[in-house]
Amino acid sequence: YIVVLGAGLSGDKVTPLLSARIDKGIALLQKNPNAVLILSGGQGPGEDLAEGEAMAAYAAAQGVAAERMLIEDKSRSTEENLRFSRALMDGARPNVIVVTTAYHVFRALLLARQQGIRCVGFGAKTKWYFTLNALLREFVGYLHLTWKKHACAMAVIAGISFLIGL
C-alpha cells in the first residue's frame, strides 16, 4: 500500500503541494506493480469536497486505474490519515509506504509507529519558500508528540545537577 497524505485543497482542486505528493505516490506505484494507492484526506474548511476524492480524480487524470486506488475521505489530521488508511488495508502486517512532503516524513513516521504501522516514508519536494515555516511547524508538532520524554529528560538533568551541586 502506498498512502498519500492529504494537504488541503483550493476549492475542489489539488494544490501544487498536494499534487507533488500525489505525483510521488504515482511514481512509486509504477515501480510497485502489486501496490494499491490510498489517497487519504477528509474535507476541511473551504474545501468543496474531501481531499481523498480530489486526489483520486487527479491520479485518474494522470492515468492511474480506479482498481489501483482506494479513497480515505474522513480524516482531519495526519494521525487520522494513518489510522483510517490502515483500516482499508488487508492483512495483519501489510507492506506500507507513506508519502508526504519531505519536511513532514519524520513526524508522519513517528505517528505511524505509535499506531503500530510498520512503514517507510518518502517525501515529495516542495518550494524552498515553504520550508522554513514548515520546519518550525513540524518541530512544534514533534515536541507535542514527545513532550513527556523531554520533560523526563529535563527532570533527570535537573536532578543530577542538583546532586552535583551539593
Taking only the tens place, the pLDDT of each residue in 95-117 is 999 999 988 998 899 999 999 99
Per-residue pLDDT, averaged over 48-66, amounts to 97
Question: Over 90: is that where the pLDDT of 41 sits?
Answer: yes
| pTM, full prediction | 0.81
pLDDT at 139 over 80: no
Decide if pLDDT at 134 tops 90.
no
Residue type, 14: V
Give me the chain's average pLDDT, please. 90
Q: Helix axis angle, 51-61 relative to 16-31, nearest 10°?
A: 60
The residue that leads in pLDDT, 148 or 56, is 56
* Alpha carbon distance 6, 75 (integer Å): 9
Cα 141 from Cα 137, distance rounded (Å)? 6
Q: Cα 6 from chain centroid?
A: 7
Assess whether pLDDT exceeds 90 at residue 131. no
132 falls in which pLDDT band (50, 70, 90)?
A: low
Task: Average the pLDDT over 37-44 and give the result.
Answer: 96
- Residue 116: predicted pLDDT: 94
- Give the cell for residue 37: 494507492
What is the helix (H) or strand (E) element at residue 124, kind and residue range? Answer: strand 120-124
pLDDT value for 45: 87
Residue 25 has pLDDT above 90, yes or no: yes
pLDDT for residue 88 is more than 90? yes
